[in-house]
Structure 1
């Protein structure tokens, strides 16, 4: 008589160390042959998120800090930041100091944009990140924020 394995009618549950996650391609953008996709929103679509765009124009350090904090929470906790990110984080102060004293806040934005591209499997490269951060800082910050927001919304809490 052959050994028969027991029937399992339930998916395995998460264990310690496993992180839940949201949908990193919430709009279902098609992937190319390299497994990359386009941004969910174009760089010049920043006016569709007018509030974030205004913040990014007048207080880019706040938007940068919130973006960093929101992504860190998604990575560490596997869920959206409950408060939407603090405006006085270390990333905010670093951006503020670099921008105010040296006009180089775009360096931090460029690095963050690259991290976001990696997290969401978005096509592009370092040169494009630098150009977007340098030439259109507010649009860059808004685009990054909207990409994070889509993942947060996929949890169904926003």
Structure 2
């Protein structure tokens, strides 16, 4: 699905009868993006902040964030604060839902919550890789 310069289905996943598709990368495919996976394991707030900012820039400006997302954004600090009491999965769940909505990916809130709660680092990497595919479709290197 080509929209405003970016391809929201860059991996050309087939659409179902409802116009939805699967994620471009599996939840357990996080080790295929080793650097992002390491950040997601040891500094998940940074990956969450970057994902949130990159997605917002694509939504607002219809172009990739030239900075690749800031690691010290409000989303990053919010994630860090909530992780101190074990609740950061809530922000990840919300961002996962926004990502699914933007890319027309099938699923729902329950699945988003389970992925964010049970597989938090893998969730962060999967969302990052989905955003990255659209960013790359602009013909720029990210």
> Which category of TM-score, normalised to the shorter sequence, fits these structures?
over 0.9
How high is the TM-score relative to the length of structure 1? 0.86
Aligned pairs for 1:29-68 (under 5 A) are 29-68=13-52
Aligned pairs for 1:1-158 (under 5 A) are 20-100=4-84, 102-158=85-141
Partners of 2:113 and 2:4 lie apart in 1 by 31
Which one has a bigger Cα radius of gyration? 1
Alpha-carbon shift at residue 83 of structure 1 (Å): 1.2
- Cα deviation 1:99-120 (Å, max 9, x = unaligned): 01x1100000001000100000
Give yes or no for contact 1:69–1:86 (8 Å, CA) kept in 2. yes
Alpha-carbon shift at residue 75 of structure 1 (Å): 1.0
Q: Which residue of 2 aligns with 1:16?
A: none
RMSD: 0.9
Partners of 2:23 and 2:59 lie apart in 1 by 20
For structure 2, the residue ranges without an aligned partner over 5 or more in a row are none
What SS does the aligned partner of 2:7 have? Answer: coil
For structure 1, the residue ranges without an aligned partner over 5 or more in a row are 1-18
Alpha-carbon shift at residue 77 of structure 1 (Å): 1.1
Give yes or no for contact 1:21–1:74 (8 Å, CA) kept in 2. no
Q: How many residues align?
A: 139
